[in-house]
Amino acid sequence: MKHLILTIGGSHVPIVDSIKKHNADMNYFICSVDGPVVKGSRRLIDGKGLVCGEPGKEPSLPNIPTQAELPEDKYRIFDIKNPDSLDECYKVCCEAIQQALDEGSNPEYIIPDYTGGTKSMSAGLVLAATDYQLPKFSFVTGLRKNLVRVQNGTGTVSHQDQSYIFCRRAVDEANKLLERYEYRAAADVIEKAMDESSANYRTIMTENRCLCLAMDHWDRFRYEEAAKIIKDLDSYAKDYMPELSALCKVDEDGNPALKACYAMIRDLYHNAKRRAEQGKYDDAISRLYRATELMVQARLRELRNIQTSKVPAELIPKEWNIATGENTFELGLQRSWDLLAHLEPNDIFSKLYKEWRSKILDNLQVRNFSLLAHGFQPLTEESYKICIEKGLGAFIGEGIKILDSEKKLPPASEWPKRLEIEF
């Protein structure tokens, strides 16, 4: 169903031209009502007798629907009391657009024509239509002898391209989302604008949408999916490939290589910080816990080829008194670190653990009481602050400094908070 929405001023000719050109199923007229001094434009729609004509002359023509041969069931009137109030004009135009949508029309079949009416009425319609992301704007133009109006008989209906408007607004909205690391939502905003834009603007926006999708994959630890997208991009996005390549490395068995595991520790640490900025403190501390666990798993694997899920019984210190007759044992975070310190007392990470052991154990109690671990207590900003400054987070931060130098990891990527777009 096609809707045409027109702002009505004192001139009937361009309105009749637009109605005939569009041949819509329903026409909405945005009209001003009579004021104390100035007559409104509604009389051009429902006035009886001769109500239309040349400015300054006696009316010589019937109302607009009669001239356009519109039956009463083909149009509807929306009144504006103050045609100079942008706020009221915008509100009424939004109501008209929403009603068109409620009646089953798709945005692409809702045509706003802002030719007539006061400047506030035209501006209100343009603003409302842009907010609703209506893709087609209509305007009647023609030969001008002055700046007041188009000469009668020369008018032609033209459609205005809004690609820049849609894209500019989408980029502004996307940048606000990127500041909160909402990459998937930013990609969706850009995609919606692309759907309503010309080919040139779609090309410009595509790469930035793909970057947002890649960062969303990365933020969810889908490293290979992120790398596949970024490898095909031509812009500054390629700066992310060194770190992503490290995260994607696998061994001969198809499992994450040691270098990938060490890179993941740093990635978990930065991911935790992003979750904290979003106020998701349980998620943040869970990631710091996993980073602490992965660090010792990777170290035992590198130095002793030990998997913490299958530790040979003969390597377990007798003083732990956990013998059960089994050939292997599965160790948790604390026991894994204690085993590393026992087997490799001179290792730089063993020494770091010994320095931080009491603080780590204290901080683990807070984590263990959280709903995402073993308890029911939601973690707070204060809990996270202690963790990142004095507990697991601080410990991991020190470990990452060692990894950056010892493992020669690629520089950590600076995640985008703004799109670099030049229209």
Cβ-Cβ contacts under 8 Å for 232 (sequence gap 6 or more): 210
pLDDT at 159: 67
Least confident of 4-18, 135-149, 269-283: 135-149
Cβ distance 315 to 338 under 8 Å?
no
Structural domains of the chain in order of their starting residue, each with its CATH number: 3-160 (3.40.50.11700), 249-406 (1.20.120)
The percent of residues in the chain predicted with pLDDT above 90, rounded, is 68
pLDDT at 157: 67
Q: Taken in order 255, 259, 265, 266, is the CA torsion positive or negative?
A: negative
Question: Does the structure show a pLDDT above 70 at 352?
Answer: yes
pLDDT tens-digit readout, 220-254: 999 999 999 999 887 677 889 999 999 999 998 88
Top-confidence residue, 173 or 367: 173
Question: Does the structure show a pLDDT above 70 at 148?
Answer: no
pLDDT tens-digit readout, 399-423: 999 998 887 789 899 998 888 777 6
Q: What's the rounded mean pLDDT across residues 51-74? A: 93
Question: Does the structure show a pLDDT above 90 at 197?
Answer: no
Question: Does the structure show a pLDDT above 80 at 320?
Answer: yes
pLDDT at 155: 45
Question: Does the structure show a pLDDT above 90 at 379?
Answer: no
Confidence of residue 144 (pLDDT cuts 50, 70, 90): very low
Confidence of residue 146 (pLDDT cuts 50, 70, 90): very low
User: What is the rounded CA–CA span in Å between residue 317 and residue 325?
Assistant: 14
Confidence of residue 120 (pLDDT cuts 50, 70, 90): very high
Q: What's the rounded mean pLDDT across residues 25-41? A: 93
pLDDT at 273: 97
Cβ-Cβ contacts under 8 Å for 17 (sequence gap 6 or more): 140, 155, 156, 157
Q: What's the rounded mean pLDDT across residues 57-79? A: 95
Q: Which of 128, 148, 138, 108 is nearest to 19 (CA)?
A: 138
**What is the rounded average pLDDT for all residues in the chain?**
90
pLDDT tens-digit readout, 151-170: 454 446 666 777 888 888 89
pLDDT tens-digit readout, 360-374: 998 888 787 777 778
User: What is the rounded CA–CA span in Å between residue 68 and residue 27?
Assistant: 11
pLDDT at 156: 67
